[in-house]
Structure 1
Amino acid sequence: MAAGTNGPVAIAVSGGSDSLVLMLLAKAWSRRSGRNLIVLTVDHGLRPEAREEAEWVTAKAASLGLSARGLTWTPDKRSQDAARQGRHSLLAAAAREAGAGLLLLGHTRTDVEETLLMRLARPTTLASAVGPQPVSVSPVWPEGRDILLGRPLIAVRRGHLMEMLAERGESWVRDPSNESDAYERVRMRKLAGQLDAARLSRITDDAMRLRAVEDIQLADMLSAFVRIDPAGLVELQMDRLAGSLRLRARLLSILLQTAAGSDSPVAPQPLLALASDLASGGPKSRLTLGGAWLQRRGGTLMIGRDPGEVCAGWQDGIWDGRYRRAAPGGADVEESPFLVRHGMPDDPYEEILTGRLVLWEKALRLGARLGVELAGSGAQTLSPVATTRPG
């Protein structure tokens, strides 16, 4: 996973069993590879113990000789969804500040199977029910720009990790919310324990293979049919575009988020409706969706920014999630395509949409390749040697 990335490798550690094993394994890998590590932990403030747990993680990392940084989330509202978004924003910003292009997370095979059951409880396809992927882009933007997320433990079940830690005499943070039936994931975890484990594993493997096929097709679409104008206009060539409506909807989701400088996906039904309309020769006129303007011209779908949704102003060198500062010079705003002309900075800029799509394509291809490899091997175990205490 670290191949092709520069700088240190960042690790998100909450102190739970999964991320603790990840930190121990990463330490052993770091000694062999020579790559530096930085441990990041977040005090999310959702429980009174959160600050103490974050301090415990930084102390544990220091005892292993690892650099660690504690981060504090100060929320506008307190919920698990808001905490997840806030945590990812802090982690991505800290990783980028440290010069890391890869952030490792402790998701396991158990998480994949639980997510599969959760998503299959709603209308979806088997491929769409898979998650999280071995490699993905950050779910936050623009904080997550230039950052890939890697999940080295995605083929190992959580129970095995706990057994490893117990054999080593290690303790870990236990979050009481992981036992509360108030949360859907906990209910699905209990359901999974009542199912035929071998059958669930086979279904998960099949879903991972199907998802990998879709992800490769999606990456090919991004590479072959999408162009970004220097002013930030997204152009999709639809003449030779193939694939199911659901796959095209996934492509449109990526392009809409990119054109809008957003990290908020459009709901599935409007995307499917748009994909169907495009397949029938539409849309006949300009429309607005997901903070973007869309207009068809022959076989090309042009996607720009809805000027009414623009977040004007420079923040951390980024303007509206679409541009970064540049040296003076370049094209005049008035000469830019109409669909982006009314949502551009007055200062010199460079578009960052191209880089975002390149990273998305890379994540799709790498995640698909690893997903196929892992699906062929089923749930794995780890050698105890890998977590031997450093001397």
Structure 2
Amino acid sequence: MSVDAIHKQLRQFLSCLKPGTLERPLLIAVSGGSDSLALLHAMADIQSDTSLKIQAATIDHSLRTEARAEAEFVHVISDRLNVPHHILTLDWKVGDKKTQASARLHRYRLLAQHAHDIGASIILTGHTFNDQMETCLLRARGGSGWWGLSGMRDIGMVPVWPEGEGLGLARPLLDMSRERLRDFLIERGISWIDDPSNENPAYERVRIRRYLTNEPHVVQEVERMQFELSERRTSIGLHLREWLQSHATWLPGGAIRMDTEACFDLPDAFLERLLMFLLPCVAGRQVTPRRERLHRLFDKFRQDDEKKMATLGGCLIDWSGADFFIVPEINSQDLMPDEITSGVWGGRVSITSQSGESVRIAAWGERKKPEHIDADRIPPLYLRRFLPVQLDDEGEVQSVPHLEHSSLISVQDLSENRMLSWLHPESQFFRG
């Protein structure tokens, strides 16, 4: 493809980012392969005549002896392009399973932490059309539902939590083939590194890649399926966002109250997707519950049982009255004091000590109510047990940041924004 074509596509992508994003550094994840190197070079071109500030990072997975040299290769290229570059080394712990899946998880954690360190709000990757097709077929073989088969988003969330809080993951080349990107590099006389694992048939993705290469008609079928399902995902995501605005209220600490009748008026597929995302957001967890466990919850919904309560995914779910509550469960770790200066507590509340000194934070649990807070401002036990409180040296509640203004501690609930981000329609501006 021509040099101008990739530049045009990337400029179009940049123009669609939310205001303020381009005022901060853009972090590009670069492996040394053709896809990410094409992204790096093209973005460096654009940076040269704009006010963009791009940085690059390469992960040394410590899985192959050549990995460090490959990371150094990217460092040299970045230096020539006047792009700040960091090598992030994955530190495997004793007993860790060194699989591609765990390496991916650790990779995004390192990238997310580095993005926070440099003040970036978005991470760019070189995923291509080929990666999209492979991912869809991999998910199909793994029994994924239609939402998974809708593929990767052009712009989505970093798939780690809470490390990915406040960060976006962008794939601006998702509609371009790997072959076209390599043509771009060849046209400029740029070489790249071929990871030998990309040719190892022991990995299912490699086998699927070869299969798709030999069966172009399958690629067309997968592309059609992925596009139609991504359109459906966008439509349902917008519907659920609007539904939440009309029928839900977010409560202090990340809990949510919804209209019970309105919940059960939703089609099962919509309610299932709503709960699939709500539960980890309320619980502050990284992963969604398994579909089979969610289906068992739906069976309980349909039973004529007086006890209309259940626990799932770190949440207590109560649909016994006019209000449908989902609140975080607390465990022994939540009840133990944690020294915090600034960070995410419980996966759902951002806590900052204004003085810069650490404060002792724990879940309220069944600790006594502080006398300085009026009784009529204190929620019932099931709506306060999970709230973070500041403890004194004796372990008593000193303050409840959610219920009182404090110049010492600020809190921000993360559940609502995380939920809305999950449902946000992906960009479709690459779709011809």
User: What is the TM-score normalised by the length of structure 2?
Assistant: 0.77
Counterpart of 1:31 (choices 17, 33, 48) is: 48
Shift of 1:124: 4.5
Cα shift readout 1:42-83 (whole Å, capped 9, x = no counterpart):
111121112222222222111101111221111221221111
Q: Distance in 1 between matches of 2:353 and 2:156?
A: 32
Give 1:342's aligned residue: 385
Whole-Å Cα distance in 1 between the matches of residues 302 and 323 of structure 2? 12
Q: Take 1:262 and 1:285, find their aligned partners in 2: how far apart are those partners?
A: 24
Q: Tell me the distance in 1 between the aligned counterparts of 2:62 and 2:236.
A: 38
Q: Provide the C-alpha distance between the structure 2 equivalents of 1:64 and 1:262, rounded to a whole number of angstroms.
A: 39
Which residue number corresponds to residue 206 of structure 1? 228
Native 8 Å contact 1:222 1:357 kept in 2: no
1:45 maps to 62
* 2:350 matched residue in structure 1: 324
Residue 351 of structure 1: how far off its partner (Å): 5.1
Q: Does structure 1 conserve the Cα–Cα contact (< 8 Å) formed by 2:310 and 2:316?
A: yes
**1:94 aligned counterpart, secondary structure:** helix
CA contact (8 A) 1:30 1:36 kept: yes
The AA in structure 2 aligned to 1:102 is I
Matched, 1:144 2:164: yes
The 3 A distance-change label for structure 1 pair 182 and 247 is farther
Rounded Cα–Cα distance in structure 1 between residues aligned with 2:84 and 2:415: 29
Corresponding residue number in structure 2 for 1:170: 190
Aligned to 1:9: 26
Identity %: 29
Per the alignment, residue 277 of structure 2 pairs with 254
> What does residue 229 of structure 1 align with?
251
The answer to whether the 8 Å contact 2:122/2:167 transfers is yes
Alpha-carbon distance in 1 for matches of 2:332, 2:87: 34
Change (3 A) 1:169 1:363: farther
Aligned-residue offset at 1:28: 2.6
Shift of 1:231: 3.2
Secondary structure (helix, strand or coil) at the match of 1:307 reads coil
Cα distance in 2 for residues equivalent to 1:345 and 1:15: 44
For the residues of structure 1 that align with 2:90 and 2:304, how far apart are their CA atoms? 47
Letter aligned with residue 2 of structure 1: L
**Deviation of residue 224 (structure 1)?**
3.5
What is the CA distance between 1:29 and its match in structure 2?
Answer: 3.0
Distance 1:183 1:169 in 2: 31
Q: Would you say 1:293 and 2:316 are equivalent positions?
A: yes
* Structure 2 SS opposite 1:325: strand
Matched residue of 1:324: which SS?
Answer: strand
Tell me if structure 2 keeps the 8 A contact 1:137–1:149. Answer: yes
Matched residue SS, 2:388: coil
For residues 228 and 12 of structure 1, what CA distance do their matches in structure 2 show?
A: 35
Instruction: Quote how far apart the aligned CAs of 1:314 are.
Output: 4.6
2:418 is the alignment partner of 1:365: no
Following superposition, the deviation at residue 176 of structure 1 comes to 1.4
Q: Relative to structure 1, is the Cα distance of residues 282 and 180 closer, same or farther in structure 2, using a 3 angstrom cutoff? A: farther
Would you say the 8 A contact 2:128–2:174 is kept in 1? Answer: yes
**Is the 8 Å Cα contact of residues 115 and 131 (structure 1) preserved in structure 2?**
yes
Unaligned runs of at least 5 residues, structure 1? 378-391
Q: Report how far residue 360 of structure 1 moved.
A: 4.4
CA shift digits 1:70-107 (9 cap, x unpaired): 21111221221111111111111111121111111111
Question: Partners in 2 of 1:310 and 1:291 — Cα distance?
Answer: 13
CA distance in 2, matches of 1:155, 1:29: 19
Structure 2 match to 1:265: 288
Gaps of 5+ in 2: 1-15, 355-362, 370-377, 391-399, 402-409
Secondary structure of 1:193's match? helix
**Candidates 173, 185, 188, aligned match of 1:153:** 173
Query: Counterpart of 2:389 in 1: which secondary structure?
Result: coil
- Equivalent of 2:331, from 308, 322, 332? 308
Using the TM superposition, give the Cα deviation of residue 309 of structure 1 relative to its aligned residue in structure 2, in angstroms.
6.3
Q: Specify whether residues 240 and 167 from structure 1 end up closer, same or farther in structure 2 by C-alpha distance, changes over 3 A only.
A: same
Corresponding letter in the other structure for 1:265? T
Question: How far apart are the structure 2 equivalents of 1:168 and 1:290?
Answer: 51
Greater CA drift, 46-55 or 229-238: 229-238
User: Following the alignment from structure 2 to structure 1, what is the Cα–Cα distance between the partners of residues 331 and 43?
Assistant: 46
For residues 42-81 of structure 1, the aligned pairs below 5 Å read 42-76=59-93, 77=96, 78-81=98-101
For residues 11 and 283 of structure 1, do their structure 2 counterparts lie closer, same or farther at Cα, with a shift above 3 Å needed? Answer: farther
Quote the RMSD (CA, aligned, Å): 2.7
* Cα contact 1:17–1:161 (8 A) shared by 2: yes
User: Is structure 2 residue 120 aligned with structure 1 residue 93?
Assistant: no
Provide the rounded CA distance (Å) in 1 between the counterparts of 2:121 and 2:383: 29
1:382 — aligned with what?
none
Provide the residue aligned with 2:407 in structure 1.
none
Look up the equivalent residue of 1:225 and give its one-letter code: H
Alignment-derived partner of residue 102 in structure 2: 82
Checking the alignment, whether the CA contact within 8 Å between 2:155 and 2:171 is kept in structure 1 is yes
Partner of 1:381: none
Structure 1 residues 142 and 20: alpha-carbon distance in aligned structure 2, compared to 1, 3 A threshold = same
Give the secondary-structure state (helix, strand or coil) at the position aligned to 2:202: coil
When residues 85 and 199 of structure 1 are mapped into structure 2, their CA distance, relative to the original with a 3 A threshold, is closer
**Inter-partner Cα distance in structure 2 for 1:152 and 1:176:** 25
